[in-house]
Structure 1
Amino acid sequence: MANLKYSILGLFLLFTTSCDKILDVDVPDNLVHDEFWQNRDQVYAALMGMYSSMHDAMNSYHVWGDVRSSLYAPGSGDAYNASYGQLMQHDIYPANGLLSWRTVYRSISIINSFIKNAPSALEHDITFNPDELRTMMGEAYALRALNYFYLVRAFKDVPILDEPYESDNQQFDLSAHPEVDVLNFVEADLERALGDAPATFDDVRHRYGRITKNAVRALWADVKLWRNDFEGCLDLCQALDAQYASTLVEPLSWYTIFNPGNSAESILEYQYGLQGPTSPVYGWFAAFNRVDADGERYLANATNVRLNSQEVLYPPTSLEHSSSDTIRLSSFAMLRNTAVFNGFGPALEVYKFLGSVPYQANYRAANNRIPNYIFYRYREVLFMKAEAYAMLNRYVEAEQQINLVRRHCDIPELTPGESGEGVEFMSRLLMEREFELGFEGKEWFAAVRISRRPGYENILIDKAATDHSMGRPYQVIRARLLDQESWFLPYHLTEVENNPQLDQKSFYRNK
C-alpha cells in the first residue's frame, strides 16, 4: 500500500482551543515513546486528531457511497471531470484518482496509534482518570470500525492494519483480506466500543459530533444488515427506538435536521464550525454567485455533480401536503439556479444542505462553511428496520417503519400491503430511502447490500440502467453491471504498483 509510512502524529489537525497548528514531529520512534502520550491533555488532543483526520476522507466516503447511485448526473465546467463520469456510467479504470484510499488509511493509522499508545499516559499523569481513558478508547475503536466499514463496502476485500507506523523496521501485511475477515474485525471493534464508549455528552456538539453508545449501535446495525443478520440488526435498533422514537422532528420543523443540525433525532454528525476546516457540502451541492468581502462576484462553489433531473425523486402530493415536507417537494428540494457563472451553465442545488430557511430560496451566506455531514440519524434506522423486517417476511411491521417516516413528513402513509413484497418491496424501499436520505452519502451502498441477496440482483441493475443520467443505453449499463464484482471498486493503480502483496481484482485487470 502506497504512502502508509509517515509521521502519524504530525498529521493531526486539532480542534482544540489550546492548539491551532499541526504538532511538531520528530522521528516516529522518539516522538511516540519520549515526547508524546505523557498526560491527559496530549491524549485528548490526539482524540480530537482522530476526528479531524476524517475530514480529509470525507470526499471518499461520499463518492464511494453515493455517486454511483441514480441520484447524480455530470455537473458542468471544471468541477466535473472524467473521474466522476467513470463512476456514474459504471466504466471504472484503476487509474481513477477517486479510488485512492490514502486518506482513509491515514485516518486508520492515526486511530491505531491512539489505541496502542494512549494507555501509557496513565503511567505519567496521576490525574488522568482511567474511566475517561476507557471511554476515549471506545470512541477510537468505533471510529476505526467506521473507516473499515466504508472500505469494505467500497472495495470488498481490503488490507487490515491494526498497528500504527512507528518505525521503518516494521513489517506490515498489506495483502487484501477477505470481506468476511474485515467484517469480523469491524464487529470485534464495535463490540468493544459498545462496552466502553460514553453514553452521551453534556455538550450538544459532542453529543452529536462524537461517538456515543447510540452511534455505535447505529453503525453496528448497519453492519449487521450488510451481513444479512436481520435479527441482530433489529436487536441493536431496539435500544435506539427507546432513545429516539419520541424525538422525531415534527413536519413543519423538518428543516432543523439540516440547519442548524444536531437535531433531536441525530445520532452522529461530523461537526463543522466557524473555526477549523470548511464543510465540503457546498463544494458538492452548490453553484451560485455571492458577493465576497471585497464586493466582487465570483463562482463560490461549482458542483462536482448535479441531480439527475430525469429521476422522479419527488412525486407530486396533494395541496394539503405541499408545504410541509420540502425534502420531497421538488420545487424546494432541488432548486434550479438558472444563472450562468463564468461560463458555467445552470445547475440544480440540494437545498436541504444549503438553505437558511425552508420554503424560500435563502442561503446561509456567511455561514456556508458550517453545514454538518450526517453519518446517522434515526430515520435511517427506521429504514434499516423496514429492510430487516421485510427480509424476515414481516411486511406489516416493515410498512409501519416507513409510515413513521412518512407521518413525520406529513405525507400520506402507505395503505396496508401497498409496498408489496420481495423485489417489489425492496425497490420501493430504495425509493423511500432516496426521498428521505437523498444525497446523504449511502444510497449506492444500500442498493448493493440489497441486490447481493439471491433473487434481488436485478434491483440495482435496473435502477442504474433505466433512464441513465448520462444517456447511456440501458443494455450498455446492464452489461457493465451483470458481474457483481463490478459493483465494487478496483484498487487504485498506484496502490497495486507500489504494493507487491496487493493483486488487482480479476474483473479490472485488463482495464
Structure 2
Amino acid sequence: MIKLLNYMLFLIPFMMTGCDKFLAVEVPDNLTHDEYWANREQVVASMNGMYSSLHNNLNRFQVWGDSRSSLYTPGPGDSFTTDYRQFMAQDIYPENGLLGWGSVYTAITWINSFIKNAPGALERDQTFTESELNVMMGEAYALRALNYFYLVRTFKEVPIIEQPYESDSQQFNTAASSEEEVLNFIEADLDRALSAVAPDFENINERYGRITKNTVKAIWADVKLWRNEYQACLDLCADLSAVYGDKLVEPLNWFSIFSPGNSSEGIFEYQYVQTGFASPLYNWFSHFQQNNAKYLANIANIQVNAGEKLYLPTDPLHFSADTIRLKNYSAFRFSPVSYAGGSGYEVYKFIGQSPYELNYRPTGARNANYIIYRYREILFMEAEALAMLNRYEEAEARINKIRLQCNIPAVSTGVMGADLEFMTNLLMEREFELGFEGKEWFAAVRIARRSGFADALIVKAAENNPLGESYQVVRARLLNPESWFLPYHRTELESNRLLVQKDYYKNK
C-alpha cells in the first residue's frame, strides 16, 4: 500500500497556491459541481488532498509552535531571514511574512468543501458505503479541529469559517471569534470525529498517516489541558495509556522513533518518503555540510537549567534524557559546528539514520516523518495535569516512566519541587524528550498563562538568547502576556475589514 502522499492528487493548482492573503483561496469550481462528487474515487482523492494540505502548513506550524522556545540558534542557510530572526528575538512585527495564515484557511476551506459535498457521492456510487464515508467525515472534522487548534494557540482570537468557498460572489470578511468560541468549535468537531473515525485500520500501511480514534483523543487531551480542564485531560490520557502504556520503545531502540519512524508509540505522524513532498524538517535541519540548515540547536540554553538535583554532572551518561542525550550522534551531533557569524549543534535525530555514529539519511532528512503526537507527550500531559491538581507524586511517576525507559535514573519523590519550580522542571524534561518537535513554545505559553506561572516562560526565554539579546530586553518584551501570541499580518487586515489588530501590536 502506497503511503498517502504518493497518491496522485487531482488538484495540483490548489496545492501550489501557497497564498498568504486572508482566505484568498483558489479552490476550483469543480469542487462543487455534481459531476465531481460522483463516485468513491473522487471522494478518496479529495480526502488525500485534505491530508496533503496539512503538509503545506507544517513549516508554519513549526515556526509558530516552537521557534520562540530558545532551543534554536541560526544556521548557515540563506533561508534564515529577518522574519525568522524576529521570532528568535521575541520582537515580531505585523509585516513578518511568517504570520500569514492564508494557507491554513485554504486547508480549512478544502475540508469545509469535503464535509458539505462528499455525502452526495453515496447516491451516485453504489460501491461507496455509508460506513466508509463516515470514517472519512470523521477524519475531516479532526483535521479541521487540528488546524483551528494551531491557529488559536498562535493568535488566540481567529475567524471561524464553516462554509466552503464555492463562488467569487461569496464574502468572507469575518471578525475574529473569541478564544473560548474557537475552542468550543474545536471540541464540537472532535466530538463528531471521535464517533466516526476508525479505531484503527486492519492494513497497517493504511493506518500510517491517517487519523484514528487515538489521534482524536490525543488532540482533545491537548485541548483540555490548554483549557485547564485537568481531569478531562487525564480521562482522555488514560484511554491512550490503555493502548500505548506497554508499547514504549525499548531504550536501545529509541532512535527508531525518528528513523525509520512509525514506532510502536507513534500516535499520528505525517508520512514522507524519498519521492514526492520533502519533509519540512529537511529545510530546517539539513546537515551542516550542505550549508543550508535553517536552524541549529542551542544546547547551551538546554544545559543552563539542568540542576544538580535532576541531572548529576559527575555522570555524563545521565546528563539529559533519551532523545537529547549529550552523546556523540544521538539527538545532536555532539561537536559544535561553526560558520561565519555563529555556531551550534546539528539536530541529528531528524537527519541521521542511526545513533552514536555519523550516518546521515540519504539526501538529508527528506523522508523524515513529522511527528504530531507520540505517546511520551501524552505522559507529559498527564504529569502537567496531575501537578496542577497537586498530585505531584503521581506526576513524577509519569516523568519517571519516561526516564526509566531511557535508562535515566528516576527522580526521587519531591525533588522536582512544586508550583512554579515543578513546571519549570517539567518544561526542561519536555525539551529533553520532545525538543524541536514543534510544540515547546505552546507548552510554555499554556503553563505561563496560569496564575503565578508566568516566569516559567519569561525567564526561560530571556536566558541565553541565541541572538545575544540581553536578559532585560527579552524579559521586557515578554512581560505582557499578549506578546506571547502573534499579531495579524497587515495583509490580512487589509483583506478582511472586520479583522482588528490586537492592541499590543497596534503601534508596531
TM-score for the superposition, normalised by structure 2: 0.91
Aligned pairs for 1:183-262 within 5 A: 183-262=183-262
Aligned to 2:21: none
1:487 aligns with 2:461: no
2:287 maps to a residue whose letter is: A
The CA distance in 1 between the partners of 2:344 and 2:27, in whole Å, is 48
1:35 deviation in Å? 2.6
Aligned to 1:411: 408
Secondary structure at the counterpart of residue 38 of structure 2: coil
Contact 2:115 2:140 (C-alpha < 8 Å) held by counterparts: yes
After superposition, what is the alpha-carbon deviation per residue over 1:176-216, rounded to whole angstroms, capped at 9, x for unaligned? 11100000000000001011011101333432411000000
After superposition, what is the alpha-carbon deviation per residue over 1:230-258, rounded to whole angstroms, capped at 9, x for unaligned? 01000111110110000001100101100
After superposition, what is the alpha-carbon deviation per residue over 1:258-310, rounded to whole angstroms, capped at 9, x for unaligned? 01000000000000013320111121012333xxxxxxxxx3x6122222242
2:293 maps to a residue whose letter is: T
Q: 1:348 to 1:481 in 2, by over 3 A?
A: same
Aligned to 1:428: 425
Q: 1:339 to 1:158 in 2, by over 3 A?
A: closer
2:154 maps to a residue whose letter is: A
Contact 2:286 2:364 (C-alpha < 8 Å) held by counterparts: no
Contact 1:252 1:324 (C-alpha < 8 Å) held by counterparts: no
Q: 1:30 to 1:374 in 2, by over 3 A?
A: closer
Secondary structure at the counterpart of residue 358 of structure 1: coil
Aligned to 2:19: none
After superposition, what is the alpha-carbon deviation per residue over 1:450-482, rounded to whole angstroms, capped at 9, x for unaligned? 000011112111111112221111111111111
1:328 aligns with 2:322: no
The CA distance in 1 between the partners of 2:261 and 2:404, in whole Å, is 21
Aligned to 1:437: 434
The CA distance in 1 between the partners of 2:317 and 2:488, in whole Å, is 50
Aligned pairs for 1:310-349 within 5 A: 310-313=300-303, 316=313, 318=315, 325=322, 327-332=324-329, 333-335=331-333, 347-349=344-346
1:310 maps to a residue whose letter is: A
Aligned to 2:20: none
Contact 2:302 2:428 (C-alpha < 8 Å) held by counterparts: no
Contact 2:89 2:469 (C-alpha < 8 Å) held by counterparts: yes
Aligned pairs for 1:18-417 within 5 A: 22=12, 28-29=28-29, 31-289=31-289, 299=290, 302-313=292-303, 316=313, 318=315, 325=322, 327-332=324-329, 333-335=331-333, 347-366=344-363, 368-417=365-414
2:488 maps to a residue whose letter is: Y
Q: 1:491 to 1:429 in 2, by over 3 A?
A: same
1:345 deviation in Å? 6.5
Aligned to 2:453: 456
Secondary structure at the counterpart of residue 151 of structure 1: helix
Contact 1:326 1:359 (C-alpha < 8 Å) held by counterparts: no
Higher deviation after alignment, 347-356 or 332-341: 332-341
After superposition, what is the alpha-carbon deviation per residue over 1:411-442, rounded to whole angstroms, capped at 9, x for unaligned? 01010111111001000000000000000000
Contact 1:287 1:337 (C-alpha < 8 Å) held by counterparts: no
Over aligned residues, Cα RMSD in angstroms?
2.4
After superposition, what is the alpha-carbon deviation per residue over 1:334-379, rounded to whole angstroms, capped at 9, x for unaligned? 21676778x7865421011111111111111247321000000000
Q: 1:199 to 1:430 in 2, by over 3 A?
A: same
1:73 deviation in Å? 2.0
The CA distance in 2 between the partners of 1:99 and 1:116, in whole Å, is 29
After superposition, what is the alpha-carbon deviation per residue over 1:4-34, rounded to whole angstroms, capped at 9, x for unaligned? xxxxxxxxxx845566773799995555123
Structure 1 consecutive aligned stretches of length 4 or more whose deviation exceeds 6 Å: 23-27, 337-341
1:171 deviation in Å? 2.9
Q: 1:422 to 1:470 in 2, by over 3 A?
A: same
The CA distance in 2 between the partners of 1:23 and 1:85, in whole Å, is 31
Aligned to 2:23: none
2:333 maps to a residue whose letter is: L
Secondary structure at the counterpart of residue 132 of structure 1: helix
The CA distance in 1 between the partners of 2:321 and 2:101, in whole Å, is 40
Higher deviation after alignment, 464-473 or 432-441: 464-473
Q: 1:480 to 1:21 in 2, by over 3 A?
A: closer
Contact 1:28 1:167 (C-alpha < 8 Å) held by counterparts: no
1:243 maps to a residue whose letter is: V
**Runs of at least 5 residues in structure 1 that lack an aligned partner in the other structure:** 1-13, 290-298
1:84 deviation in Å? 1.0
TM-score for the superposition, normalised by structure 1: 0.90
1:463 maps to a residue whose letter is: K
**Runs of at least 5 residues in structure 2 that lack an aligned partner in the other structure:** 16-25
Contact 1:76 1:303 (C-alpha < 8 Å) held by counterparts: yes
Percentage of matched positions with identical amino acids? 58
The CA distance in 2 between the partners of 1:154 and 1:160, in whole Å, is 15
The CA distance in 2 between the partners of 1:17 and 1:427, in whole Å, is 44
Q: 1:141 to 1:426 in 2, by over 3 A?
A: same
Contact 1:288 1:337 (C-alpha < 8 Å) held by counterparts: no
Q: 1:340 to 1:65 in 2, by over 3 A?
A: closer
